[in-house]
Structure 1
């Protein structure tokens, strides 16, 4: 299991309820075939290179620490943070460059942060002036100021599935953190049952913003909702630490939101993270790889660096580690949503492009065993991980390398106990014939020394037709 110490983690729901809507079921099946997606956390916080949103949350957690000259008082810090709107000017923003790199890497869908918990909208909402297209934001004068629309259009042109990340809590909204009371933690700072008119205004605000995204930004496939503390009180899981802190019923009427979303975007996948039921169409283990396959659609969201948002000099995972993460996740039947945080200038770190390019080099040879695949027992044995083509009798065995370059042994045992008559075994990227024979526990392969001379990196993939 991958562990991450720098980025905030979310627990995964323990129960899953399949959606009733047939169009959603079909879209989910398509999404499960894509396997590899791009996540992007981007906002004004990128200017300071601090964790996204959390530094304005009045909780004493590792990821909420205030840094820099404004951190002496909470109010002074929050004011300075919100004032970043007046200097945000990502003039190097070029979504076509991002999509080109993501497509080469073999990514097939994307999720973009249209609004994080701080409430700054990266789209041209009519509900607030705390947005990238407001006159106070220097970038508003740029023809590509409505960055969400530009990003969606660029990725859609290259046939990516389009996902809108949206934060249910909004720490800038006076109807969520009502200025009459100081904010106490991440939750709403008043009792919605005691002040229903305020809560109704917040529900309307949330509905209206999501409606804008569902009607003015072209075809959207996924509505990815974060901030799981905004939820009906009867869904709280008191065994989860952060859910213990939810004191109030924060029901924003997901049935109404989902119905509107699906009316405008038929088959819309809704991911109401950590809130089990009809509106969590797939689960999202964060910064981890489940040890065993899950019995429902799921996606591991994992940072390429240590942080979700841009941090100068962030340490990026190697292409070796990312490819092997992808193989491990897909062998368990999941998708990998890999996050890159664009910088304040509107571009990725050069290291991120380097990683995407190296991943693409590997995927060009081995992607066949990733896409359109399903988990197959024994899932893994030692450093060998398995997938199965969903449409034909072909199993893929990925042999993970210890180092960047693949060095295969002379003989290799592929453990597949229940496999029937084997017709052929070959290696992706190689035209050489392999010697093999079936054994009691699978297949014994004899690998010619020349197989190590074709420059394979990260992992080799064997195909077994039966």
Structure 2
């Protein structure tokens, strides 16, 4: 019995270890290209960016692409509920014909982003539905296609107009590109009905069709890398399109059909892209390996700092795409998220979805303006910083500059008045360290009692109308 018990315990330990290994995150693969490493270091200085989801689906105010995916998930439901799939698909694909954003003015977006303190942009050149927001020569299913209402407009090559407008404001440009394409016959072949988000035919049985899809993808990315000016980021979505050997427990959970080797030759794509755009950051989202230069937790902030470059992508409102009456996060929430992310060593990519006429919600402009008011005062505590332990203590977050100075950023609640003292543990100012609060000229006094550092704020500082958070610069720590 004792031997049986030991054997059972050993087997249980083995199964537990295997289960943990299955769910463990694969290690980050560091980049080796010096030009990319330099760009990644610069990117980590930018801290705050804008993501934009936009396409013909904005006319209906529905989720981007996902309503044509035949999966029974909450985010894939068709509206009105119960409409037959192929009837819905036909109407959805016809949205490209009526897409006519006559108020499209990317310079207005770019100015709002700059005023908000955003340093880079990631724009959707193509989402999973396959509709191209750029002048691709690989398909007519594009905004410049002859059937599209907007194609006669001189601004019809939307991605190019957007990238140029943002670069004119000094904002770095990045291209979002969906690896899966639910419109091309090379991915969703009309001979078979789609069953889920994956390729709908057997790749081993029809390898020539898959090779055409690989070429289609390669050629579209090369168009973006050669005809759209300087690009700093290639942001690839649709992580289920990956080599079979890179599948993880998480990626397999997406499958409703047997797993396939959806290898599109990322090595060849990255090599080509960097030949045209030296130093390009490649983000093959969720495919952990050499082509995921940084990782992208979606709609969440990690509990602890991560040991590799990362970026939280999150919606400014409730949806990635335009919804007529969407509810926007408060400026206080967004700034607290930004400070929390930056203190943990990450970047914050905040999404907004333009409407069918090309305008943003008024709330988007107001939100970005008010973020910018805070960043004008406190940006030095955000840009060009890195994480420093203990990262956060209570309501105080920490960042450090390359000169060794440290910022203690106190998070104010909605309508909270600045307290007379700010206290924290885990980080000690050096003897004689000088402190000043951004936006105030008065020098601050401090003392340490046991493990607690206590900073006293004079009445002249407390009396100012501070909002969201305040940043105190400590010139050096011990």
TM-score (norm 2): 0.92
Aligned pair partner of 1:201 in 187, 191, 212: 212
**1:192 positional shift:** 1.0
Distance in 1 separating the partners of 2:131 and 2:34:
35
What SS does the aligned partner of 1:325 have? helix
Aligned partner of 2:18 in structure 1 is none
Aligned partner of 1:448 in structure 2 is 458
Aligned pair partner of 1:138 in 123, 140, 149: 149
**1:60 positional shift:** 0.2
1:260 aligns with 2:260: no
1:36-435 paired onto structure 2 within 5 Å: 36-68=48-80, 71-240=82-251, 242-245=253-256, 247-389=259-401, 391-403=402-414, 405-417=415-427, 419-435=429-445
**1:447 positional shift:** 1.5
**1:12 positional shift:** 11
Cα contact 2:407–2:471 (8 A) shared by 1 = yes
Distance in 2 separating the partners of 1:369 and 1:14:
32
Cα contact 1:110–1:161 (8 A) shared by 2 = yes
Distance in 1 separating the partners of 2:251 and 2:215:
29
Distance in 2 separating the partners of 1:14 and 1:453:
50
Distance in 2 separating the partners of 1:242 and 1:24:
32
**1:420 positional shift:** 3.3
Cα contact 1:437–1:445 (8 A) shared by 2 = yes
Indicate how the Cα distance of structure 1 residues 141 and 12 shifts in structure 2: closer, same or farther if over 3 A, else same.
farther
**1:454 positional shift:** 1.8
Distance in 2 separating the partners of 1:241 and 1:34:
34
**1:241 positional shift:** 5.7
**1:169 positional shift:** 0.2
Indicate how the Cα distance of structure 1 residues 239 and 140 shifts in structure 2: closer, same or farther if over 3 A, else same.
closer
Indicate how the Cα distance of structure 1 residues 383 and 166 shifts in structure 2: closer, same or farther if over 3 A, else same.
same
TM-score (norm 1): 0.95
**1:17 positional shift:** 0.5
Higher CA-based Rg = 2
* CA offset digits 1:349-388 (Å, max 9, x no partner): 0000000000000000000000000011111111111111
* CA offset digits 1:331-364 (Å, max 9, x no partner): 1000000000000010110000000000000000
Indicate how the Cα distance of structure 1 residues 376 and 422 shifts in structure 2: closer, same or farther if over 3 A, else same.
farther
Aligned partner of 1:32 in structure 2 is 44
Distance in 2 separating the partners of 1:13 and 1:185:
25
Higher alpha-carbon deviation: 54-63 or 441-450: 441-450
What SS does the aligned partner of 1:140 have? coil
Cα contact 1:417–1:440 (8 A) shared by 2 = no
Cα contact 2:196–2:255 (8 A) shared by 1 = no
Distance in 1 separating the partners of 2:43 and 2:416:
30
Cα contact 1:12–1:283 (8 A) shared by 2 = no
What SS does the aligned partner of 1:336 have? strand
Indicate how the Cα distance of structure 1 residues 268 and 12 shifts in structure 2: closer, same or farther if over 3 A, else same.
farther
**1:435 positional shift:** 2.1
**1:414 positional shift:** 2.8
Distance in 2 separating the partners of 1:146 and 1:409:
52
**1:423 positional shift:** 1.7
CA RMSD in angstroms comes to 1.5
Aligned partner of 2:446 in structure 1 is 436
